[in-house]
């Protein structure tokens, strides 16, 4: 199968219609995509949460916008790097905690409710899909709202740790104004980081780590298997807001292609799976998904414009 066939061959409509603007045109072809593929898995990345105020890691060409995030082995083996992570997270976490789902999250929840989407696999750790109402979500890289002890395995709420960090550290560190960065990160000076006190596990005194898969870490096998099973059962894979530069997400595109399933992408920039995709839309995912979800489930309330 040639995964690069044209939009015309899949949808039966012209690739250009002078009576439509680009959003109308893309919404029409995306609606047809949903109609022709009853069981769809959505794979989402950082781009879907950008409108909620959580920045992306990369630009439209796949290049880093910030310094590379902490790696798994660094967190495990280097106490200074752990302190740096928690110092920056103490300032950056409230921005993720207080973020609200945008219309792309809301549209996916509505499409799930209407039976058009079976599972959402998200590379994000912000839990915005769940807050928007999606019920069948696999958090591929974990969840930032929870912390786990590396020694005893006990979990605690991230807000509980935030309260302890706040109580243990001076207001000057807690209240410094920093620009938004991905996944609850924040820029802090080395001097501020040196003075930060990080609480230990309240159960055993062990090392606390966010319940996420850092770069260089391994996604739990059972989680990967669940994602693969969802892709196997689906008629098509829809990628939204991801450059797919990280293999943990790209592997599902490769598996879908091997199984001869349709792959479609909503992303303004280049992705690692562009040559595997049947079609690609480059309009804003919130505007596009919102329009399509209202067409396919017209009884639903309109999205919050955020």
Q: Is residue 169 part of a domain?
A: yes
Instruction: Summarize pLDDT for 99-139 with one digit per residue, the tens.
Output: 999 999 999 999 999 999 999 999 999 999 999 999 999 99
Residue 75's Cβ-side half-sphere holds a number of Cα atoms within 13 Å equal to: 20
Which residues face 119 on adjacent strands? 41
Q: Is residue 12 part of a domain?
A: no
pTM of the model: 0.86
Q: Report the C-alpha gap between 87 and 54 in whole angstroms.
A: 18
Q: Report the C-alpha gap between 168 and 67 in whole angstroms.
A: 28
Q: Is residue 4 part of a domain?
A: no
- Decide if 271 contacts 253 (C-beta within 8 A): no
Per-residue model confidence (pLDDT) at position 4: 36
- Residues in the chain predicted with pLDDT less than 70, given as ranges, are 1-20, 57-68, 171-192, 298-306
Q: For residue 204, what is the domain's CATH number? A: 3.40.50.1220
Per-residue model confidence (pLDDT) at position 68: 67
Give the gyration radius of the chain's Cα atoms.
20
Per-residue model confidence (pLDDT) at position 7: 37
CA torsion through residues 9, 15, 21, 26, sign: positive
Q: Is residue 3 part of a domain?
A: no
Q: How many domains does the chain have?
A: 1
- Decide if 141 contacts 124 (C-beta within 8 A): yes
- Decide if 109 contacts 134 (C-beta within 8 A): yes
Q: Is residue 186 part of a domain?
A: yes
Range of the domain at 46: 26-268+285-296
Q: Report the C-alpha gap between 270 and 39 in whole angstroms.
A: 26
Q: Is residue 11 part of a domain?
A: no
Per-residue model confidence (pLDDT) at position 12: 38
Instruction: Summarize pLDDT for 4-31 with one digit per residue, the tens.
Output: 333 333 343 334 455 567 888 899 999 9
Q: Is residue 262 part of a domain?
A: yes
Q: Report the C-alpha gap between 51 and 145 in whole angstroms.
A: 20
Q: Is residue 206 part of a domain?
A: yes
- Decide if 23 contacts 17 (C-beta within 8 A): no
**Vertex 139 angle, CA 134 and 142, to 5°:** 140
Q: Which of 66, 98, 67, 89 is nearest to 173 (CA)?
A: 89
Active site residue 141: yes
């Amino acid at each position: 199968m040639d995964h690069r066939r044209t939009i015309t061959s899949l949808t039966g409509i012209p690739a250009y219609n002078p009576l439509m603007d680009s959003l109308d045109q893309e919404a029409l072809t995306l609606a047809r995509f949903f109609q022709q593929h009853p069981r769809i898995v959505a794979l989402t990345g950082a781009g879907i949460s950008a409108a909620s105020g959580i920045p992306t890691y990369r630009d439209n060409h796949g290049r880093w916008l910030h310094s590379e995030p902490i790696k798994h082995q660094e967190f495990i083996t280097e106490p200074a790097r752990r302190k740096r992570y928690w110092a920056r997270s103490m300032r950056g976490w409230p921005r993720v905690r207080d973020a609200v789902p945008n219309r792309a999250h809301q549209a996916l929840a509505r499409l799930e409710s209407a039976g058009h989407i079976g599972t959402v696999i998200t590379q994000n750790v912000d839990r915005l899909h769940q807050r928007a109402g999606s019920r069948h979500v696999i958090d591929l890289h974990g969840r930032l709202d929870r912390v786990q002890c590396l020694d005893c395995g006990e979990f605690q709420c991230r807000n509980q740790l935030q309260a302890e960090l706040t109580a243990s550290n001076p207001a000057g560190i807690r209240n410094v104004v920093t620009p938004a960065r991905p996944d609850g990160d924040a820029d802090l000076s080395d001097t501020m980081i040196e003075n930060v006190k990080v609480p230990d596990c309240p159960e055993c005194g062990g090392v606390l780590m966010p319940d996420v898969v850092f770069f260089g870490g391994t996604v739990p096998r059972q989680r990967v298997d669940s994602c693969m099973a969802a892709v196997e059962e689906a008629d098509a894979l829809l990628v939204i807001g991801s450059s797919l530069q990280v293999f943990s997400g790209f592997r599902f595109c490769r598996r879908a292609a091997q199984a001869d399933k349709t792959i479609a992408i909503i992303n303004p920039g280049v992705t690692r799976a562009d040559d595997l995709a049947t079609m690609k839309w480059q309009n804003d995912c919130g505007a596009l998904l919102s329009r399509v979800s209202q067409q396919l489930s017209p009884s639903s309330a309109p999205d919050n414009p955020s």
